[in-house]
């Protein structure tokens, strides 16, 4: 088992040392703060681990990861322990919650008390200094600079997606020639890479090309490796440095060299095209704010990561569900047959009018949010509003330095919020009360695939438009798409899942294109 070294004695000794030091410090601080705050201490929260240092929890977590059932494991813990509990693994004690009120406080009303914690240290070698890892004024500056590039008028006509979705349809047809069965997942990753690079650099890397561009494929491989090592590191928190620093450095070097090459090309061709500043690509416009090349590369890789992975994952889960729910597929197919690109090019507004499609996308994001778990770390002693005390309703004191994790995946499967059929893929639920009447953006902090508050996803509309357009075109081009005969079917949530930077179907998204 690849994670066996986690429990080797040397690691255990280091963990024990740091754990004791950390525990004593945070315990002292918590007691002092309690004098000031009318909140109950986290000590009384149900605990996911029983053994010291959370060795039992560590073993179970590693097993769940190995079996590709990590989110199911989290969900089981919430069902056993309640909506807010604590867990300790090694030196890290954290609180996990699926209370909408706690999420609202952390992301919005009390956001000033919360920071990104270890995210910056762990992901910096790959992502560099970009919006995902910045805080305070640096983050606000980036957000102000990047936000205007995401206005929907830039992609209202869908021109940015059109050629790449066309290439995707061609690749799917070619791949399907032999058996009629295709794994869409890797193809979606290339589609979203091509779209995002076009969006950022004004010129796509065209990774879907049949004669593969070796450099862009090396980049994809290195990008995946760097993300996977960084994600493993994030699970180790303070002990992140134990995980494959050499592999990470090697992969990051390839990613950075690739990004530098594309950035150089973009800036050189923009310099030759100074007359039409409206046509300057995203990157060239932001380059004036980031004369330092490392900073510019950082922003570019941040957007590239966000733009490629989550949208590809979202599309994979969409087809994963559609082929398993033929009635939904049929209803959706009937709706998308109302629009026809050969009559007039589709626009974003046309896609928004396809209401069943919008419901299907919401339902996919509910059951399989690409970012299933998010953490914030207390910048100072603070509280979350509910989950503590004997009745489980009092505020909870969170000492400075402690992390609170919320899981959109687990909140969005709560039966008291979504009904007893919360585990079922049923897009119709979005037309029913009370979901219909919830506010569109955060649905009362119970629908959080794009986060919330001031750091909510900047690319939400861009990715939903890309996803909607790709779904429509695939269904129109391949009207007989279905589940391959030999494909296993599990109850939703029991399928194998891979958790890297985003949540993916671990066995891909195989579909049978049937007779065209
Ligand atoms: C289905 C697709 C997507 C999902 C589910 C998603 C989800 C998220 C989530 C949950 C966050 C908040 C993270 C946090 O609170 O720590 C976020 C932030 C962000 N997303 Fe997305 N995202 C998607 C697509 C995109 C795309 C396509 C782009 C850009 C091309 C993008 C750009 C960003 C940026 C820049 C941030 C950082 C915002 C900040 O820190 O101020 N996202 N995304």
Ligand 1 contacts CB of residue 314 (under 6 A): yes
| Shortest-distance atom of ligand 1 to CA 451 | 10
The domain segmentation of the chain, as residue ranges, is 1-115+373-406
Helix (H) / strand (E) element for 114: namely strand 114-115
Instruction: Tell me: pLDDT of 10 over 50.
Output: no
- What's the whole-number average pLDDT of the chain? 87
Instruction: Tell me: pLDDT of 353 over 90.
Output: yes
Mean pLDDT computed over 437-452:
78
Strands 510-512 and 181-183: antiparallel
| Shortest-distance atom of ligand 1 to CA 376 | 16
Nearest C-alpha to atom 1 of ligand 1 is from which residue? 311
pLDDT at 280: 63
Mean pLDDT computed over 64-79:
95
pLDDT at 264: 87
Probe target for ligand 1 pocket from 362, 457, 467, 504, with the most ligand atoms within 8 Å of CB: 457
- What distance in angstroms lies between residue 190's CA and the mean position of ligand 1's atoms? 18
Does 214 or 513 have the greater pLDDT score? Answer: 513
Nearest C-alpha to atom 9 of ligand 1 is from which residue? 450
pLDDT range class, residue 39, cuts 50, 70, 90: confident
**With the C-alpha atoms ordered 205, 210, 214, 220, is the resulting torsion angle positive or negative?**
positive
User: Under DSSP, is residue 397 helix (H, G, I), strand (E, B) or coil?
Assistant: strand
| Shortest-distance atom of ligand 1 to CA 196 | 30
What tokens appear for 367 in the block?
């059951």
pLDDT at 348: 97
What tokens appear for 76 in the block?
């089981």
CB 115 within 8 A of CB 99: no
CA distances 335 to 240, 268, 330, Å, are 48, 45, 9
What is the Cα–Cα distance from 85 to 94, expressed in whole angstroms?
9
Ligand 1 contacts CB of residue 286 (under 6 A): no
Helix (H) / strand (E) element for 57: namely helix 55-66
- What distance in angstroms lies between residue 285's CA and the mean position of ligand 1's atoms? 21
Mean pLDDT computed over 68-88:
96
Ligand 1 contacts CB of residue 132 (under 6 A): yes
Name the H helices within 375-414.
Answer: 408-411
| Shortest-distance atom of ligand 1 to CA 374 | 16
DSSP code per residue over 36-102 = H---EEGGGS-BS--SGGGHHHHHHHHHHHHTT-HHHHHHHHHHHH-SEEEEEETTEEEEEE--HHH
Ligand 1 contacts CB of residue 452 (under 6 A): no
- What distance in angstroms lies between residue 21's CA and the mean position of ligand 1's atoms? 35
Mean pLDDT computed over 129-153:
93
Ligand 1 contacts CB of residue 462 (under 6 A): yes
What is the Cα–Cα distance from 201 to 268, expressed in whole angstroms?
11
pTM for the whole structure = 0.90
pLDDT range class, residue 215, cuts 50, 70, 90: low
Q: Dihedral, CA atoms, 137, 292, 301, 111, nearest 10 degrees?
A: 0
ipTM metric: 0.99
CB 29 within 8 A of CB 399: yes
Ligand 1 contacts CB of residue 372 (under 6 A): no
Total residue count of the chain as it appears in this document: 516
Name the H helices within 183-292.
Answer: 184-201, 214-236, 245-271, 282-287
What is the Cα–Cα distance from 313 to 212, expressed in whole angstroms?
22
What is the Cα–Cα distance from 347 to 339, expressed in whole angstroms?
10
* Cα atoms found within 13 Å of the Cα of residue 313, Cβ hemisphere only: 24
Which pLDDT tens digit goes with each residue over 165-174?
Answer: 999 999 999 8
Ligand 1 contacts CB of residue 371 (under 6 A): yes
Nearest C-alpha to atom 6 of ligand 1 is from which residue? 450
pLDDT range class, residue 15, cuts 50, 70, 90: very low
* Cα atoms found within 13 Å of the Cα of residue 357, Cβ hemisphere only: 27
What is the Cα–Cα distance from 294 to 351, expressed in whole angstroms?
38
What is the Cα–Cα distance from 413 to 419, expressed in whole angstroms?
9
CB 181 within 8 A of CB 512: yes
pLDDT at 485: 93
- What distance in angstroms lies between residue 465's CA and the mean position of ligand 1's atoms? 14
| Chain centroid offset of residue 448 CA | 11
Instruction: Tell me: pLDDT of 19 over 70.
Output: no
């Amino acid at each position: 088992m690849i994670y066996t070294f986690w429990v080797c004695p040397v690691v255990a000794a280091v963990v024990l040392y740091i754990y004791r030091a950390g525990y004593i410090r945070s315990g002292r601080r918590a007691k002092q703060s309690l004098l000031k705050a009318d909140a109950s201490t986290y000590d009384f929260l149900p605990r996911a681990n029983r053994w010291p240092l959370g060795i039992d929890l560590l073993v179970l977590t590693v097993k769940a990861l190995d079996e590709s059932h990590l989110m199911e494991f989290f969900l089981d813990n919430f069902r056993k322990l309640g909506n807010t509990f604590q867990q300790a693994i090694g030196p890290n004690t954290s609180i996990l919650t699926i209370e909408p009120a706690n999420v609202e406080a952390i992301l919005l009303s009390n956001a000033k008390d919360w920071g990104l914690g270890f995210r910056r240290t762990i992901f910096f070698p790959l992502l560099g200094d970009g919006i995902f890892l910045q805080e305070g004024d640096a983050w606000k500056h980036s957000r102000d600079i990047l936000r205007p590039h995401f206005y929907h008028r830039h992609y209202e006509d869908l021109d940015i997606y059109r050629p790449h979705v066309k290439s995707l349809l061609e690749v799917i047809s070619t791949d399907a020639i032999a058996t009629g069965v295709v794994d869409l997942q890797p193809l979606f990753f290339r589609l979203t890479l091509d779209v995002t690079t076009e969006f950022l650099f004004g010129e796509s890397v065209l990774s879907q090309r049949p004669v593969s561009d070796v450099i862009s494929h090396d980049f994809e491989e290195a990008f995946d490796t760097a993300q996977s090592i960084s994600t493993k590191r994030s699970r180790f928190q303070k002990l992140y440095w134990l995980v494959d620093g050499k592999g990470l450095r090697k992969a990051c070097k390839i990613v950075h060299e690739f990004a530098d090459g594309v950035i150089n090309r973009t800036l050189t061709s923009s310099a030759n095209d100074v007359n039409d500043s409206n046509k300057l690509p995203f990157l060239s416009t932001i380059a004036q704010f980031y004369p330092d090349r490392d900073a510019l590369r950082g922003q570019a890789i941040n957007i590239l990561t966000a733009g490629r992975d989550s949208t590809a994952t979202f599309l994979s889960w969409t087809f994963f569900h559609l082929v398993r729910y033929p009635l939904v597929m049929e209803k959706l197919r009937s709706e998308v047959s109302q629009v026809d690109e050969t009559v007039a090019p589709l626009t974003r507004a046309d896609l928004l009018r396809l209401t069943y499609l919008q419901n299907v996308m919401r339902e996919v994001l509910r059951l399989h949010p690409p970012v299933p778990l998010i953490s914030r770390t207390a910048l100072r002693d603070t509280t979350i509003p509910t989950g503590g005390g004997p009745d489980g309703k009092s505020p909870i004191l969170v000492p400075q330095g402690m992390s609170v994790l919320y899981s959109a995946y687990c909140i969005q499967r709560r039966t008291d919020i979504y009904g007893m059929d919360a585990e079922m893929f049923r897009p119709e639920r979005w037309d029913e009360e009370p979901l219909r009447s919830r506010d569109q953006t955060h649905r009362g902090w119970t629908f959080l695939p794009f986060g919330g508050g001031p750091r909510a996803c900047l690319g939400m509309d861009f990715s939903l438009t890309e996803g909607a357009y790709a779904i429509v075109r695939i269904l129109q081009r391949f009207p007989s798409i279905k589940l391959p005969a030999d494909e296993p079917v599990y109850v939703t949530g029991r399928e194998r899942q891979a958790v890297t930077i985003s949540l993916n179907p671990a066995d891909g998204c195989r579909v049978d294109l049937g007779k065209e």
